Amino acid sequence: MNIAIVIPVYNSPFIDEVIEDVFKYGYKVIVVDDGSEQKVTSAHKEIEILRHEKNMGKGEAILTGAKCAKKLGFEAILTFDGDKQHLSSQIAKLISHYKEGNIVIGNRDFSSQTVPNSSKFGRKFSNFWVFLETFKSLGDTQSGFRIYPVNILELNMRNRRFDFEIEVLALHSYRKGEIIDVEVECYYPPKDERVSHFDKFHDNWRLTKAHTKLMIQRYLLLRGIIWV
């Protein structure tokens, strides 16, 4: 399958382990260093390492990776977080469900006792709003373990941080694009090993604005006032 692995990363102490683990499976790897304090490097010349000199947000890093993948001739990208939560062994499962032009989401197994209740609530909350915005019942709209066709670059997206991953689902859906989710295993580390750059105030505020805008947009689409 013509899919490249894109790893957006910002200040993860585990990025070397993540890169090595993905690379050993033989996938084309594109790492986008989103302004980390210490530059990401690799001894493998086959790995593409791109860098934003300042932090621009996860969404911008994904788009940078998608542009690179398209230039290299790939039709889709699989996004893989740099915090060790996603498992390389599950990549093949996502790829096996990919069809040209659709988005595939890895629906993470949250049954582990190490998964905090705040994450479980946040996922349910996000799934609820995405259902209202797209009429699609999805199991894990917050998962960063996804396959996107490179034509997501054509979508008129305005959000570039964590809100990007919500907006892209809605805009893809408005264009009649298919979205499916696939059950996957994941590793949720204990509290003292977790890496998160989610700002509870600023990022929740961005998500609130994104959901509000998308609800309005959905209403206008249904009324035939705007088109995508």
Q: What is the CATH number of the domain that holds 30?
A: 3.90.550.10
Q: What are 1's two structure tokens?
A: 């399958």
Could you tell me if residue 191 is inside a domain? Answer: yes
pLDDT of the chain along its 228 residues, tens only?
Answer: 699 999 999 999 999 999 999 999 999 999 999 999 999 999 999 999 999 999 999 999 999 999 999 999 999 999 999 989 999 999 999 999 999 999 999 999 988 767 777 778 888 989 999 999 999 999 999 999 999 999 999 998 888 887 899 999 999 998 999 999 999 999 877 666 656 656 665 666 777 887 788 888 776 776 677 656
Estimate to the nearest angstrom the gap between the alpha carbon of 153 and the chain centroid: 14
Give domain status of residue 147, yes or no. yes
User: pTM for the complete prediction?
Assistant: 0.86
Whether residue 227 is contained in a domain is answered as no
154 domain residue, yes or no? yes
Quote the CA–CA distance of 12 and 188 in Å, as a whole number.
15
Q: Is residue 228 part of a domain?
A: no
> Looking at the domain assignment, is residue 94 inside a domain?
yes
- Do the domain assignments include residue 218? yes
CB 114 within 8 A of CB 188: yes
- Find the domain containing 61 and state its range: 3-222
Structural domains counted in the chain: 1
What pLDDT is recorded for position 225?
72
| Alpha carbon distances (Å) from 155 to 97, 103, 202 | 22, 13, 24
DSSP 26-95: T--EEEEEES-SS----S-TTSEEEEESS---HHHHHHHHHHHHHHTT-SEEEE--SSS-B-GGGHHHHH
pLDDT at position 209 is 81
Whether residue 33 is contained in a domain is answered as yes
Tell me which amino acid residue 206 is. Answer: R
Q: Are 175 and 72 in contact (CB under 8 A)?
A: no
Quote the pLDDT of residue 219.
67
